[in-house]
Amino acid sequence: MNDATLDLTKVRGLVSILPKQLVYLLRVYLLGVLGFTIFRVILLIQEFHQLHFLPTDQGIWLVFKAFLMGLRFDTVVMGYLLTLPFLLLAVDGLAGWNSKLVYRIVNILVLIGVIAAFFIHATDLPFFHHFYTRLTTSVMISTFTGKAGSMLSGMILQEWRFVWPLFPMAILSFLFFKRNRALYRNILCKNDGSSSSSIKWFAAFAALLFFGIWGRFSFDSHLAASTAYDSDYGFINMLGLNPAYTFTQSYVNSKTDAKNVRLMGDGEAVRNVQQFLHIPAAQEFDSPIARAVTFADTLATKPNVVVVIMESMSANKMGRYGNTNHLTPYMDSLATQSIAFDSIFTAGIHTFAGVYATLFSHQVVKRKHPLDKVVPMSGIASTLKHNGYSTIYFTTHEKGFDNVNAFLTANDFDQIVSKDDYPSEKILSALGVPDDYLYQHALGDMDRLSKKGNPFFAAIMTGSDHGPFVIPKYFHPKHEDAMLGVVEYVDWSVRQFLTAASKKPWFDNTLFVFVADHGTSLDKRYDMPLSYLHSPLIFYAPKLLGAPRSIEQLGSQVDVFPTIMGLIKQPYINNTLGIDLFREQRPFACSYADDKWVVLNTEYMYVARDNGVNSLYHYRTGDVKDYSKALPELTEQMQTYGKSVFQTTQWLRHNGKQVMQ
């Protein structure tokens, strides 16, 4: 008999003296961890292209370490799932009941818990690919009313990337169901009198269960998500996490800070923001950030304003910013005929954040949906309406999605044009009409408003560059990949729009603004992809603006409204966090991304994560090294700026100061 046979015999001998209840739990644990590991392998395959950021001599070792880290987080999750079953089985074993009812309840609890965890893992796969972070409660953050619920389900069902993870989930769930049933019958329900019910075994298992949940054999601190961040590579760090862990953690955090986010004291934050915006502490207005903006001269007529918020239009998609796929020839050309800002960053990674920041010039705050609750705002529509403008908003889909209809209607948009206003034959997907028809329809309404004799403000939220990607049959992209071809279509649609608009009598007196709602996670060098935040910002008005030029000045999406007001020279009260980019400069730009927030200047990006790990990256060079310790002064400045801005944003809204009374 060889050594291996002896070792196996010892293991079998140990199992034979364990209470059957513990044998069952141990085997369920192994099955659950095996399932989680398979999902981690699938994630690695799905994101395999991210490994090119790793050094070639360390890549395999780093991936191996991530899987070892993953085993620790998987053990934590399984520990929580098995706690209640263990308590029930411990009582059963120590009392000598051998209760079939208890075993049946335990079997059901295990089945529900593990399959629910598998579902979370399946949901995490498309979520991670899209947002480049493990699953959090932000997956549920969008809000909708009426028909918008069916719109959301339609978007999911029409996209293969959302559906395919259900197949490995179904297979693993079925196999787990079969194996768990066998364990239930052959171990729990088997009464051969061979297993001991000694309290020492249950006590030992309880200790293992505790330390499995605690995540380490030390009382100093428990395993936290920050533990996984032990390398310079975002993908490797996130690969080691378990999405059931991150989802649950974010849910607990969302309940903890459901009412308030406390990054710093409100008074200190407001004073800091006043200093950043050069606002005197002694205020003439009720709001501490309000300031009167006037102009020495005014335009002969009030220009029309058209703001196009482009779905997912990351600057990284444009040839102007280095994309070599030749996807946006028209927009690249348009930028050379306009005033183009090249260092603009969005306020967040969701459409509602882009709409809110662009139209109202306020930041979003930590998993809070700013449109969910209707509150009055001092936004661009209210300001221009006060100056005699008609106001209108266009969207491709249901107006109830993200509560857009209620929020914008309450904030002085005269009309919300949505899916219900378009011919049924023009609706191509759950997202409604394609971009070129959206523009065509908008032009008709702009004609109508222009004939009233008043200037108009129109906000257009496009939708084609969002899955499900549907390209009209009359457009033939050069790229077969739908995600590339749809960008070509979006660019072509802008050309059609401005070509048609140029023939309108109101064109010469109209300012067109193009900005993204958010970008796309294309360049995943960091766990906060710059491509998700970097947005084009183009001001186009051949008859109104001066010579075309490019401006490298740092700017934010929240600066769009004040900058427009400066261009059309309409006096107003700026009660926002935005600045006029032609007359002021900002030191930093901020953005929130669910489980992290970032602060940027033209060289560095500071990332503050909910898990407590904060980093400073020199993004201009693509360096993944953390410079927070090497540059402590800059790190502190950026951290203070971000905390001040987000805390002030929350304080303004909670105290009704976001609107001028």
Over the stretch 332-350, which tens digit does the pLDDT of each residue have?
999 999 999 999 999 999 9
CA distance 557 to 604: 18
CA distance 144 to 651: 26
**Type and span of the H or E element at 46:** helix 20-46
CB 488 within 8 A of CB 324: no
CA distance 607 to 590: 10
Identify the pLDDT of residue 449: 97
CB 297 within 8 A of CB 288: no
Over the stretch 168-218, which tens digit does the pLDDT of each residue have?
999 999 999 999 999 999 999 987 554 456 899 999 999 999 999 998 777
Confidence band of 258 (pLDDT split at 50, 70, 90) = low
Identify the pLDDT of residue 158: 65
CATH code that applies to domain 266-654: 3.40.720.10
Confidence band of 8 (pLDDT split at 50, 70, 90) = very low
pLDDT at residue 165 greater than cutoff 60: yes
Mean pLDDT calculated for residue range 552-573: 97
Over the stretch 68-84, which tens digit does the pLDDT of each residue have?
999 999 999 999 999 99
Q: Looking at this protein, which amino acid is placed at residue 495?
A: R
Identify the pLDDT of residue 231: 94
- Total residues found in the chain within this entry: 661
Identify the pLDDT of residue 152: 56
- Annotate 318-348 with b (16+ C-beta within 10 A) or e (fewer): bbbbebeeebbebbbebbeebbbbbbbbbbb
Over the stretch 272-297, which tens digit does the pLDDT of each residue have?
999 999 998 877 899 999 999 999 98
Query: Alpha carbon of 89 to those of 114, 206, 376, 542: distances in Å?
Result: 17, 12, 56, 77
pTM score of the predicted model:
0.91
CB 559 within 8 A of CB 362: no
Phi and psi of 536, rounded to 5°? Answer: -70, 150
CA distance 228 to 74: 12
- The per-residue pLDDT of the chain, averaged, comes to 92
pLDDT at residue 373 greater than cutoff 80: yes
Residue 184 is classified by DSSP as I
Identify the pLDDT of residue 5: 46
pLDDT at residue 142 greater than cutoff 90: no
Nearest to 77 by CA among 33, 39, 37, 112: 33
Per the listing, tokens 């295990």 go with: 110
Q: Which residues contact 176 (CB under 8 A, 6 or more apart)?
A: 31, 32, 35, 111, 114, 115, 118
Confidence band of 359 (pLDDT split at 50, 70, 90) = very high
pLDDT at residue 536 greater than cutoff 90: yes
Q: pLDDT: is 420 or 219 the higher one?
A: 420
Identify the pLDDT of residue 216: 77
pLDDT at residue 516 greater than cutoff 50: yes
Identify the pLDDT of residue 11: 44
Q: Where in the chain is the domain with CATH 3.40.720.10?
A: 266-654
Identify the pLDDT of residue 10: 47
Over the stretch 607-620, which tens digit does the pLDDT of each residue have?
999 999 999 999 99
Over the stretch 605-656, which tens digit does the pLDDT of each residue have?
999 999 999 999 999 999 999 999 999 999 999 999 999 999 999 999 999 9
CA distance 93 to 403: 54
Strands (E) across 339-473 are located at 339-345, 390-395, 415-417, 456-461
Phi-psi map region of 490: left, alpha, beta (phi>0 left; psi -120 to 50 alpha): alpha
What Rg do the C-alpha atoms of the chain give, in angstroms? Answer: 28
Neighbours of 456 (CB within 10 A): 23
160 by Cβ neighbours in 10 Å (0-12 / 13-18 / 19+) ranks as exposed
CA distance 264 to 598: 16
Mean pLDDT calculated for residue range 423-449: 96
Nearest to 482 by CA among 492, 496, 468: 468
Mean pLDDT calculated for residue range 398-404: 90
